[in-house]
């Protein structure tokens, strides 16, 4: 048994020991700190990630990341709130550890929601982007190092990394709610500095539609350990080359716009969670 696997088992057992009575989640919702969860969620309890029996660097653990035990309707949902980010100084192994621990806590499917910028001139801020593929420009990978076959195979197949069946279900839900769906290739970069015009032009030329900082290590780890992963981008930045300077919004205005965009995502969240849990 490798140290990585042993740490995962310890963390997952700790998570399960804190589950409320009759709480058996099979789906996890991953969101950023600024994502305002819908009012129809019923929250039971939560644990701080810093409480997990895993050696995170305490000096950079300032994000108050939590696992929240919630229900929406009859669905038990484990919410990973305020995800760990590579740009905050967490390692790829730290990020992967949480995903593996979710798997061994009983999770089978993940829906991840992240703020992003759009590279595609046909997209606009305030819209939703459903991700079907990605390009990893983060210069790192959570699977680098010795592989533990208990967690997954050495060379996982990434050809359906944003599980197509779940993608199709979410796409149909967006259509039924008359919400524009921008099907997207996601470019993952490290951040936290924003993109230059030259970088944005390059990302677009290699096939990117949106860019963000968080999703790729989660996705790779999920595929490695057999979790079915879907991701929605909430577009709050214009990253179209030669047009970025035209966005005169202040940070406060961008945050306000993001909140409105999240409400649009929340409109479909109940349907998405219930449908992908019970029909796939």
* Ordered structural domains, the chain, with CATH: 3-278 (3.40.50.1580)
Residues facing residue 77 across a β-bridge? 27, 70
Give pTM, 2 decimals: 0.90
| pLDDT tens sequence for the chain (280 residues) | 688 899 999 999 999 999 998 899 999 999 988 777 777 788 888 999 888 887 665 555 546 889 999 988 778 999 999 999 999 889 999 999 999 999 999 999 999 999 899 999 999 888 889 999 999 999 999 999 999 999 999 999 999 999 999 999 999 988 888 888 899 999 999 989 889 999 999 999 999 999 999 999 999 999 999 999 999 998 888 898 766 555 655 666 665 555 555 555 566 676 777 777 666 6
């Amino acid at each position: 048994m490798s140290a990585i696997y042993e740490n995962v088992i310890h963390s997952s057992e700790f998570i399960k020991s804190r589950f409320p009575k009759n709480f058996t989640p099979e789906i996890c919702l991953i969101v950023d700190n600024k994502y305002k969860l819908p009012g129809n969620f019923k929250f039971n309890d939560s644990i701080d990630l810093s409480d997990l029996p895993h050696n995170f660097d305490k000096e950079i653990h300032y994000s108050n990341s939590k696992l929240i035990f919630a229900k929406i309707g009859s669905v038990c949902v484990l919410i990973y709130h305020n995800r760990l980010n590579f740009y905050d100084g967490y390692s790829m192994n730290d990020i992967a550890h949480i995903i593996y621990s979710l798997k061994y806590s009983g999770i089978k499917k993940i829906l991840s929601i992240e703020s992003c910028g759009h590279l595609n001139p046909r997209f606009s801020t305030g819209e939703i982007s459903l991700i079907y593929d990605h390009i990893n420009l983060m210069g790192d990978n959570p699977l680098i190092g010795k592989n533990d076959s208990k967690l997954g195979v050495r060379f996982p197949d990434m050809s359906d990394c944003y599980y197509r069946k779940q993608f199709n279900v979410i796409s149909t839900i967006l259509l039924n709610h008359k919400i524009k769906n921008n099907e997207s290739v996601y470019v993952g970069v490290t951040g936290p500095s924003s993109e230059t015009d030259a970088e944005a032009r390059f990302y677009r030329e290699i096939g990117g539609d949106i860019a963000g900082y968080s999703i790729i290590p989660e996705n790779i780890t999920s595929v490695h350990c057999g979790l079915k992963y879907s991701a929605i981008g909430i577009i709050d930045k214009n990253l179209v080359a030669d047009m970025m300077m035209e966005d005169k919004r202040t940070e406060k205005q961008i945050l306000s716009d993001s909140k409105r965009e999240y409400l649009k995502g929340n409109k479909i969240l109940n349907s998405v969670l219930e449908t992908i849990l019970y029909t796939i």
